[in-house]
Amino acid sequence: MTDEVERARARERAADMLADAGVVLTDEERDEMEVVDYGLGDLESVGTEIVVYVNDDRYCAKELVLFPDQTCPEHRHPPFDDYPGKRETFRCRSGEVYLYVEGDGDDSESSDEWSVSPPMREEFYTASEEIHLEPGEQYTIPPDTRHWFKAGGDGAVISEFSSPSYDEKDVFTDPKIDRMAGRY
């Protein structure tokens, strides 16, 4: 478990990275920043720091912060009820991001060719098409498509624009992961 002291420290560190990228937050946004360890208890290697600007029934916008070499683990956003599943656009603001997305069936790119390695529990990283994002570059992920991403050695700030987020509906490849762990 990531304890409250570590979470507070992570918030401060992420807020500093956002400030360096020119992103101004209100005090309330800083205090309410989500620190997600996905229930694995190793925030430094598997985690995401998230500021949600807006998430309503029509659209969603967030900033995602990744510490150096931190990974957001593999997941997909499935359809449910009348909702076709979340589509999301990642725009790199600072640092660099290695994004891996499910390929068109043949999974031609082998993990031998990846620029970075999954953080742990490698068997649960299967999306293999590598997309490298530098500041100003962006990529859109269709609904129900497996993806994971890892920051380069300086960390990364990523703006996410999307259809509404229903985090509790996300499906992670690693069955040990609990997206809602540590929420309060």
**Whether 17 contacts 94, CB under 8 Å:** yes
| 124-134 CB burial, b ≥16 within 10 A, e <16 | bbbbbebbebe
110 is a contact residue toward a copy of itself (CB under 8 A): no
Place of tokens 């962006």: 138
Q: Which is nearer to a copy of itself, 126 or 138 (CB)?
A: 138
Place of tokens 């640092």: 95
Which residue in 9, 13, 25, 124 binds a copy of itself (CB under 8 A)?
25
Place of tokens 């992570």: 10
Quick note: the x/- pattern for a copy of itself over 67-86, rule CB under 8 A, is: --------------------
114 is a contact residue toward a copy of itself (CB under 8 A): no
29 is a contact residue toward a copy of itself (CB under 8 A): yes
52 is a contact residue toward a copy of itself (CB under 8 A): no
141 is a contact residue toward a copy of itself (CB under 8 A): no
Of 11, 154, 4, which Cα lies nearest the Cα of 93?
Answer: 154
Q: Name every residue whose Cβ is closer than 8 Å to that of residue 177 and which is 6 or more positions away in sequence.
A: 38, 39, 40, 73, 75
Q: Which is nearer to a copy of itself, 70 or 162 (CB)?
A: 162
Of 179, 155, 184, 181, which Cα lies nearest the Cα of 73?
Answer: 179
Q: For residue 50, give the 3-state DSSP assignment.
A: strand
Q: Which is nearer to a copy of itself, 108 or 140 (CB)?
A: 140
Token pair in block for residue 126: 């299967």
Q: Which is nearer to a copy of itself, 41 or 135 (CB)?
A: 135
Quick note: the x/- pattern for a copy of itself over 152-181, rule CB under 8 A, is: -------x-xxx------------------
Span from 5-13, 49-57, 70-78, 96-104 in contact with a copy of itself (CB under 8 A): 49-57
87 is a contact residue toward a copy of itself (CB under 8 A): yes
